[in-house]
Structure 1
């Protein structure tokens, strides 16, 4: 049965994280900066715990942590503060594992491992290392179970991307997954890179139909790429995919509030991140679909 995943926050105010801008933070003294970050980190750990309770109470077994859950944790000062909270993070991560809630992260668009700029690549690795550190502090396995999902980045740089991935520290490389996008890397291109680099592919059906200008999720290439992506997962039952619908039309790259159309083949996808603006409302709207999938699987098992 597919597991549906919540992305970062709820549409309601039940799960909301604090943050701080660089301008506001740097306007303070070093001591005040440390106090601000310490307060935010502690509050956000509590919010994360609330998110785990929410997921547990609502039958949600996949949760994407915000990439900015601990702002400025990619700095020496931020990481030092985060490490002082290691016992709390370990307890929070254990509660998620004990509850069977899978944790993943999706670092932001500034992560471009295929960039022509050595500085951009170095900054990208630093950001990824922060995400790996967070997963380590949460006690999550160094495997694609605790996935760090990124896009391919700069187009036509497959060789550079494969080469860079091979040099990544274990905390990153063992968790890394690559996702197809609308412009630079098609599903087929990302699949080829994943096969070469030994990392799993996160198939996004909406990105695929936008890139290929398709008129339906039932185009044969959607199921074909779903199955090809599964080949890249060492544990096929851990395969993760994304779904969203276009806001103003089927091929609109902007995400709609809800999910009105699901690819039929996604009934066989083990883990699905729901990338819809209305978050848990969209997940609730998919309960009938999930029930029909479950009933179909039960009927097939009886035959």
Structure 2
């Protein structure tokens, strides 16, 4: 197996760059000015996304993570009004991705905390997730874990609440939802339990795992074991997605390094790997050399 390596949002070069706007600047505009500003940003970002698809095609990349903020304020009335006119264009972009065999995924931001004990935070979390699901629907992406909407567990020691909230999510969200382990609140074992109970796939992150468990190697037996346990949560095991990053200052540093210099040997069996390194496309190039060495060793 040769794992598909995923590009996260932008490139180190200026090949892929998206526009955004702050709330302060948006609110300085009149209603018409807000619509005009967002219209320009949305159009530019659709063109940038089209360029990202072409970049991935040229580079042989088949997994692409869209930025969470690709359409700023789309979760508000003004954003939805602007998007109505642009929806056909976004749908064409999504169809191009499908024709290319390019997998599109999203990772909503840290404000999504379904396990919060605050009803307001939970409601806002669902609102943010719905925005991402709507983008995936506009891109004509399937309502399945192929088009991943990935989040962390959120507030610790709230597994029951998390399972309950997931069960109540609209289909457009729940059918795409995946949960990832983290360093502090939900270990790989804990998030795996939630995934089994809630019936959603698990995105295993080996670096979060070694930080959480204070391990000294990616080849600790628990890494391979968790990879296999996570795979069993996917309806189609060939769609399993995992993450990799390396520590910046030390092996157990939670901050991401520029490149990937160390990989779990078990990841040679991972079908889809998102590369969470600062140097993006440069890290992917380096990992292709790792793949070649693994293939040569196995051969």
CA contact (8 A) 2:34 2:78 kept: no
In the alignment, is residue 118 of structure 1 matched against residue 119 of structure 2? yes
CA contact (8 A) 2:243 2:274 kept: yes
Correspondence for 1:19: 20
Correspondence for 2:259: 258
Q: For 1:150-161, what aligned pairs fall within 5 Å after superposition?
A: 150-161=151-162
**CA distance in 2 between partners of 1:118 and 1:48 (Å):** 35
Correspondence for 1:200: 201
| Gaps in structure 2 of 5+ consecutive residues | none
Correspondence for 2:100: 99
**CA distance in 2 between partners of 1:282 and 1:289 (Å):** 11
**CA distance in 1 between partners of 2:174 and 2:257 (Å):** 32
Cα-to-partner distance string for 1:254-295 (whole Å, 9 max, x where unaligned): 000000000000000000000000000110111111223344
**CA distance in 1 between partners of 2:182 and 2:146 (Å):** 22
In the alignment, is residue 234 of structure 1 matched against residue 235 of structure 2? yes
Cα-to-partner distance string for 1:38-63 (whole Å, 9 max, x where unaligned): 10000000000000000000011000
My pick for the range that moved more, 285-294 or 243-252, is 285-294
Correspondence for 1:144: 145
Post-superposition offset of 1:296:
5.2
**CA distance in 2 between partners of 1:85 and 1:295 (Å):** 48
Cα-to-partner distance string for 1:209-236 (whole Å, 9 max, x where unaligned): 0000000001000000000000100000
**CA distance in 1 between partners of 2:35 and 2:47 (Å):** 19
In the alignment, is residue 170 of structure 1 matched against residue 171 of structure 2? yes
Find the residue that maps to 1:286 and give its secondary structure.
Answer: helix
**CA distance in 1 between partners of 2:81 and 2:203 (Å):** 32
Q: For 1:56-95, what aligned pairs fall within 5 Å after superposition?
A: 56-95=57-96
Find the residue that maps to 2:247 and give its secondary structure.
Answer: coil
How many residues in Structure 1 have an aligned counterpart in Structure 2? 298
* 4+ aligned runs moved over 4 Å, structure 1: none
CA contact (8 A) 2:62 2:103 kept: yes
Q: For 1:45-56, what aligned pairs fall within 5 Å after superposition?
A: 45-56=46-57
In the alignment, is residue 41 of structure 1 matched against residue 42 of structure 2? yes
CA contact (8 A) 2:258 2:278 kept: yes
Find the residue that maps to 1:85 and give its secondary structure.
Answer: helix
CA contact (8 A) 2:240 2:270 kept: yes
Correspondence for 1:5: 6
Post-superposition offset of 1:197:
0.2
TM-score by length of 1: 0.97
Post-superposition offset of 1:77:
1.6
Post-superposition offset of 1:80:
2.1
Cα distance change, pair 274–247 in 1 and its aligned pair in 2 (3 A)? same
Correspondence for 2:283: 282
CA contact (8 A) 2:150 2:180 kept: yes
